[in-house]
Amino acid sequence: MHRPSKISASILSADFTRLGEQIQAAEKYGTDWIHIDVMDGHFVPNITMGPFIVEAARRATSLPLDLHLMIERPEKFLKEFAQAGAYNITIHTEASPNLYRSLESIHDLGCRASVAINPGTPVEAVLPVLPLVDMVLVMTVNPGYSGQKFIPAMLNKVRQIRTWVEINNLDVDIQVDGGIDAETLPLAQAAGANVYAIASAIYKHPEGIATGLRTLRKLLKN
Ligand code: ZN
């Protein structure tokens, strides 16, 4: 099944003194989604944004908001994030003891439901929920900070998930997140990814957001 390519601009590297403008710039120069990395200081060693920022982002753009919850017990906060304006909610296999139920709750709240795996988690962890999810997110760095180096071995996970998705004729996107730039995007694309969460290569591009996004979009095959 053909899945269109999408860029999800991660505001983790944006300038928060002017977040609205930074989101609107990514929209103007061609991002498909806005990726919001929610971290709680427990599941990952950093604290970032909560529903308040999601709600502010909602007011800044009409683009789909792609939430990546790197928090323990995400099931406690699903309703809040859905009400704040999420289009997609991604939760980690490692963070949710009742993964299947939590994913069903996300659908019940009217959002796309997706699952993520950390670099140290075997790819098989996503298998039981594959028929249920809209997207699998493969972490290509250890979650916590933007600007980290891409781990090439994670491409094997992308290939394996793409194979499972095709064999079973499932309607599932594969997102990569961490260290994605003009060099690594083509590798992830060749492995079978079709959604790219990108922070630094957009928001910290030396020639600005427009050039960063234009460079990345040129690499997309469809
Ligand atoms: Zn993310």
Residue ranges covered by each domain of the chain: 6-217
- 118-161 per-position pLDDT tens digit: 999 999 999 999 999 999 999 999 988 888 899 999 999 999 99
Tell me the mean pLDDT in the region 26-54: 95
CA of 43 to the centre of ligand 1 (A): 13
CATH level 3 topology of 6-217: TIM Barrel (3.20.20)
Angle at the Cα of 216 from the Cα atoms of 174 and 52, rounded to 5 degrees: 65
Alpha helix positions (H), 92-220: 99-108, 155-167, 185-191, 200-203, 209-218
The pLDDT value recorded for residue 182 is 97
Distance CA 41, CA 103 (A): 22
Catalytic site positions? 37, 177
Average pLDDT taken over every residue of the chain: 96
Side-chain-side CA neighbours of 59 within 13 Å: the count stands at: 7
Quickly count: other Cβ atoms within 10 Å of residue 39's Cβ: 21
pLDDT at position 222 over 80: no
Tell me the mean pLDDT in the region 49-73: 96
CA of 177 to the centre of ligand 1 (A): 6
CA of 143 to the centre of ligand 1 (A): 8
The pLDDT value recorded for residue 85 is 97
pTM: 0.96
Share of the chain above pLDDT 70, in %: 100
CA of 175 to the centre of ligand 1 (A): 9
CA of 36 to the centre of ligand 1 (A): 7
In this prediction, residue 18 has a pLDDT band, given cuts at 50, 70 and 90, of: very high
Distance CA 219, CA 103 (A): 32
pLDDT at position 1 over 70: no
